[in-house]
Structure 1
């Protein structure tokens, strides 16, 4: 009789809600969310992050605070998120450097695969391969000249190991040409240099060089993405114009610390997909040259892994290192 009472009691307990893991059943979010932007204020990442922060705030009624933590090529802000409590209340607004920075160092400042859980790809942005007007007018003619004159052409970048440098090292490798790298301390001085004819080639975000292309001060030879840009639909892709298979995407996305609970990651993915599907968000992202993406956590994880592999190979072959 006693054993029957125990069995009955256990059966009743099994039907009751579990209070053993309050964190797993706690409503999310129940407090403000911090989204780390690892770049200086006023840039593209901050503009994108603010669009999505506002959308999440409207959806959940909880503030999403953009916390700028620039430094060390995004490593400082990224490390803060990697070491934070994996509870969904500290997120990272990442971009293409997330897949390149670890490959530049002997002792990587973070591991994009092991230390983070991908949530969603926010958007993509093309780079534009531009030249000084004194150079050949098509990419094929430029490649012919470069192959006939190894080492005579140069290209500028916003700094060693940055997006504009790596895009051109990848271009050099795939086109099998020898052109000389001239690093600058940022995109602005690199732009001044190419406008003055001090350097001949460079890649810039499409949005930033549009006025110079339209005025004729620079010539666009190709867009680095797999498809043409709506900003300049008459400009072919680099792959179309003479380097088959070439593709470089400037991307953005949101990730969380690796051990963040799956139901929180799923909730974030759902709400962010809804935000990115809205006409308002797409229009506002478009103002900074970003095409909204969205999609599953799994697709974003696969994309990040492919980016890490791709840039590891490019960086190793070019012998690029940061101290």
Structure 2
């Protein structure tokens, strides 16, 4: 029996659906905020600004970057996840979003609290050395670390980040001990590495590429399966005998749960177009990032796979929050 209450609820649901559809159709009607959970100057910030600039032209609305760093990126991630699901706050982050929950008591589960929109790019994590350290290869670094256990190394993100895991994975295989010095982003980390305040660093390739080309830093190894086209002279970890160590770092775009599917589809489509644009693509490649693109479903699958992989690595490497 159809009651008046049933009819009222049905009408309300239909009305809300029409409002959501109308809002999505008018989107974007105001500026869009990209939340980047790391400081300016690192690969996440660089990638976000490239996409924001392209979308601003496409939409005729400002798309701007707001850097919200802290707690290994969790501050910005939590702010974005808790924002109104209207499509005007979008998270632009790295794969630490899939590793942090295994180390910290975060309030964001990427599989439940975020909607994957698109994978933007991938790049290797690169182990770099200041010339004064006096090493030119992993073999030389291993020999030095065995004489000087606990050599410090900088990362652009904190405990349990992919950069941290990559180095600890290497150290475990090589039988050496290295000590992490975490920074709040690639920009601050690269500054101290260039100044020789810390003489070893594990970072995404973006903040390192110009210094590699200038010869001011030595790049010892990269974590990709094959050599990046941006770093053709830098051998992989596997090439140097560290078998199985493959760990690309990716950038991706997420929305809070509840954003209308039409908005997710629009953002996926337009960011994909931006990544295919020759000028934008060249900018990414010049910053040592390989543009990717693809569907929300493909990106969601990558997030699930990496979430599981990082869980295994945290356990295998005995990484625990202090």
| Cα 1:171–1:273 shift into 2, 3 Å | same
Residue 77 of structure 1 corresponds to 76
Pick the structure with greater CA Rg: 1
Alignment of 1:1-323 (within 5 A): 21-26=17-22, 27-32=25-30, 33-105=32-104, 107-131=105-129, 137-139=136-138, 145=143, 149=146, 152=149, 154-158=151-155, 160-161=158-159, 162-173=161-172, 175-183=173-181, 185=183, 186-188=188-190, 191=193, 195=196, 201-210=200-209, 213=212, 218-322=217-321
Measured in 1, the distance between the counterparts of 2:171 and 2:288 equals: 26
Instruction: Count matched residues.
Output: 299
Measured in 2, the distance between the counterparts of 1:35 and 1:216 equals: 33
Measured in 1, the distance between the counterparts of 2:214 and 2:56 equals: 41
SS in 2 for 1:221: strand
| Cα 1:28–1:45 shift into 2, 3 Å | farther
Residue 8 of structure 2 corresponds to none
| RMSD of aligned Cα (Å) | 3.0
Instruction: Kindly state the Cα deviation for residue 281 of structure 1 after the two structures are TM-superposed.
Output: 0.9
Measured in 2, the distance between the counterparts of 1:66 and 1:47 equals: 10
- Mark the runs of 5 or more structure 2 residues left unpaired by the alignment: 1-13
2:168–2:317 CA contact under 8 A, matched in 1: yes
SS in 1 for 2:234: coil
| Cα 1:87–1:176 shift into 2, 3 Å | same
SS in 2 for 1:21: helix
Instruction: Kindly state the Cα deviation for residue 39 of structure 1 after the two structures are TM-superposed.
Output: 2.1
Instruction: Kindly state the Cα deviation for residue 256 of structure 1 after the two structures are TM-superposed.
Output: 0.5
Measured in 2, the distance between the counterparts of 1:20 and 1:259 equals: 13
Measured in 2, the distance between the counterparts of 1:189 and 1:89 equals: 33
220-229 or 42-51, which moves further after superposition? 42-51
| Cα 1:66–1:141 shift into 2, 3 Å | closer
- Mark the runs of 5 or more structure 1 residues left unpaired by the alignment: 1-17
- TM-score normalised to the size of structure 1? 0.79
- TM-score normalised to the size of structure 2? 0.80
| Cα 1:245–1:23 shift into 2, 3 Å | farther
| Cα 1:42–1:146 shift into 2, 3 Å | closer
Measured in 2, the distance between the counterparts of 1:46 and 1:136 equals: 30
Instruction: Kindly state the Cα deviation for residue 274 of structure 1 after the two structures are TM-superposed.
Output: 0.7
1:39–1:68 CA contact under 8 A, matched in 2: yes
Deviation by residue 1:5-24 (Cα, 9 ceiling, x = unmatched): xxxxxxxxxxxxx7662234
| Cα 1:240–1:256 shift into 2, 3 Å | same
Instruction: Kindly state the Cα deviation for residue 277 of structure 1 after the two structures are TM-superposed.
Output: 0.2
Measured in 2, the distance between the counterparts of 1:295 and 1:288 equals: 20
| Cα 1:78–1:184 shift into 2, 3 Å | closer
| Cα 1:180–1:117 shift into 2, 3 Å | same
